[in-house]
Amino acid sequence: MSNTRILLTDDHQMFRLGVANLLEKEAGFEVVGQACDGDEAVRLSLEFKPDVLVMDISLPHTDGIAATKQILAALPETKILALTSFDTEEYVVNMLKAGAKGYVLKDAPIDELVLAVKTLANGSSYFAKEISVKILAMLEGIGRPSESKEPSEKSSLTEREMEILGYIAAEKTNREIAALLYISPRTVETHRRNLIHKLKVKNTAGIVKFYLTNFKNNSELV
């Protein structure tokens, strides 16, 4: 049986090299190339014709969603696995519409990534548990009458995002928050960007303003 040919796309070199090294240790896997942006992913895909393309979403020049569309238009047999820090409904929906067959978050253990690659290579789809929950919720919501009242921004925040919101409002740096929550500063930065997106603000100052408006005088956040 031939090896599963994998192409990795991520703009963070250290992360990309680390993932490539771990996947290469898996029997039956062959990392045939690495791309640092969407344009290079398209070019290398046409050159190497990988079985599975592990694709970040946030990329320079051409993002992962646009690159996925271009690659599948030329190579419909290639399976695209999103490997990203973004778990919002917008990113999940757009990546699935682009044709991705799998979606895994970057803080997942390597064993889950290996399982996802194997699952896609075998012709099935794979979605991390957190993403499956979102997809199920979206499917259950199809056809339901819309409520007259729009959900508030704060109702869409996860427990971890609520924690980080409070620490940001307390003027903690990414490194300080990471130490308090035992996560990486990069993960904190991803949560910070997700908060900006979810709360529909422009920057960290907007996050603080949202906190002061919604939580300063109640006990929802400590």
Instruction: Give residue 36's pLDDT.
Output: 95
Residue 183, number of CB atoms within 10 A of its CB: 16
What is d(CA 137, CA 166) in angstroms, rounded to the nearest whole number? 27
* Cα 14 to the center of its chain, rounded Å: 17
Least confident of 7-16, 56-65, 93-102, 201-210: 201-210
Report CA-CA distances (Å) from 5 to 23, 31, 137, 177.
Answer: 11, 6, 33, 38
The string of DSSP letters for 88-144 reads SHHHHHHHHHHT-SEEEETTS-HHHHHHHHHHHHTT--EE-HHHHHHHHHHHHHTTP
- Do 87 and 52 lie in one domain? The reply is yes
Residue 204, number of CB atoms within 10 A of its CB: 14
Q: In which domain, by residue range, is 116 found?
A: 4-139
Q: Model confidence over 114-156: pLDDT tens digits?
A: 999 999 999 999 998 888 877 777 666 654 544 444 445 555 6
Higher-pLDDT residue of 195, 34: 34
Residue 104, number of CB atoms within 10 A of its CB: 21
Laid out side by side, the sheet with 4-9 consists of 29-35, 4-9, 52-55, 79-84, 102-105, 126-127
Helix-strand-coil split of the chain, %, nearest 5? 55, 15, 35
If one counts the domains in the chain, the total is: 2
Q: Model-level pTM?
A: 0.65
H or E element that contains 1: none
- Do 128 and 169 lie in one domain? The reply is no
Residue where a domain stops, chosen among 108, 139, 170: 139
Residue where a domain stops, chosen among 104, 139, 174: 139
Instruction: Give residue 140's pLDDT.
Output: 60
Instruction: Give residue 148's pLDDT.
Output: 42
Higher-pLDDT residue of 204, 70: 70
- Do 196 and 101 lie in one domain? The reply is no
What is d(CA 113, CA 6) in angstroms, rounded to the nearest whole number? 12
DSSP for residue 155: G
Residue where a domain stops, chosen among 84, 115, 139: 139
What is d(CA 11, CA 57) in angstroms, rounded to the nearest whole number? 10
